Amino acid sequence: MQSLQFYRKAFTAQRPEGRLTTHSERYALAALLSPLRLPLPWIFSLFGTDKQREGGHSYAAAYTDAFGPLRSKRIKLLEIGLLKGASLLGWRAYFPRASIAGIDIMPKPEMTRGRVRVYQGDQGSAADLDHVCANEAPFDIIIDDGSHFNRHQLFSFYRLFPHLKDGGIYVIEDVQTSYWRGPVRGADYDWDGYDPFEPEFKDTCVGQFLELAKYLNHAEFLSTERVDPGHASLAKQIRRIAFEHNLIFVWKGPNVEVSNWLATAVQ
Ligand SMILES: C[S@@+](CC[C@H](N)C(=O)[O-])C[C@H]1O[C@@H](n2cnc3c(N)ncnc32)[C@H](O)[C@@H]1O
């Protein structure tokens, strides 16, 4: 952590305010740091995303595990939800060869720079997502850090998953909202989650992925009577689903192995 303090001082002492104030200055820092392969927790902390923050999220370890093997590759990454651009810059610093796209409901034209292109759009709009995909897809990584509403998390996943490459990773952050119902703090609308012990929970983001996880073993279903054909067909393109605190990771890839039913039958 001492080295992190060193970088902070080195790059922030040049301005009287003690920090890099414009997006282009912070972008230059991200590009400069990129070849150094700094650890992700440092990068997140340096650029100030809440993905890793004391008293906030602790996503860096999960992201390091999932994204480490892709770090040196020439990947395409899409993030939904940009706020002040901290995570976009973090990804720019982490992946030296990546091409990065971002979409946010608010206009953020100043964030289009170098390897990063930013679109204004609503993650709940098919037209807006299709527009980004027409220009940027296919992706190796898609991260949903947008509105955190269940309806948006699910809509974006189903719309964007076809644009994820085989071997690609789809991440949904802040899935705690699956468990939340009631007024959003400081706003006049409500969270759209459910109590996890109510039947309606199956319609939330976590509920849907728990159900989808069951379908990863679709080949072992002994009866097709109650099978949801949509889930069955999607599961054939999913290799792995991982749940972490407030995070869901989905690895795309063929899942078409045949049943073990015959192999394990008593001879
Ligand atoms: C949690 S912040 C993103 C933080 C950023 N990824 C980071 O780590 O620094 C959520 C962002 O999602 C955007 N947002 C909210 N609703 C959205 C929607 N329906 N479609 C796209 N973006 C949305 C907000 O404008 C906000 O910038």
Per-residue pLDDT reduced to its tens digit, 195-224: 999 999 999 999 999 999 999 999 999 999
Tokens representing residue 183 in the block: 């007024």
Lowest mean pLDDT of 12-26, 38-52, 228-242, name the range. 12-26
- Domains of the chain (ranges, CATH numbers): 2-252 (3.40.50.150)
148 classed as catalytic:
yes
Q: Which residue among the candidates 23, 57, 131, 148 is catalytic per the annotation?
A: 148
Chain segment 108-158, per-residue pLDDT in tens: 999 999 999 999 999 999 999 999 999 999 999 999 999 999 999 999 999
DSSP β-bridge partners for residue 238: 252
CA–centroid distance, 245 to ligand 1, in Å, is 19
* Pocket of ligand 1 from Cβ distances under 6 Å: 49-51, 79-83, 86-87, 103-106, 122-124, 145-147, 152
pTM of whole model > 0.75? yes
Which region holds residue 237: left if phi is over 0, alpha if psi is between -120 and 50, else beta?
alpha
Q: What angle do CA 128, 130, 131 make, to 5 degrees?
A: 65
Q: What distances in angstroms separate CA 196 from CA 29, 158, 165, 204, 251, one per listed residue?
A: 43, 22, 32, 9, 25
For residue 263, pLDDT beyond 90? no
pLDDT at 15: 45
pLDDT of residue 155: 98
* Mean pLDDT, all residues of the chain: 93
Report the atom number in ligand 1 closest to the C-alpha of 83: 27
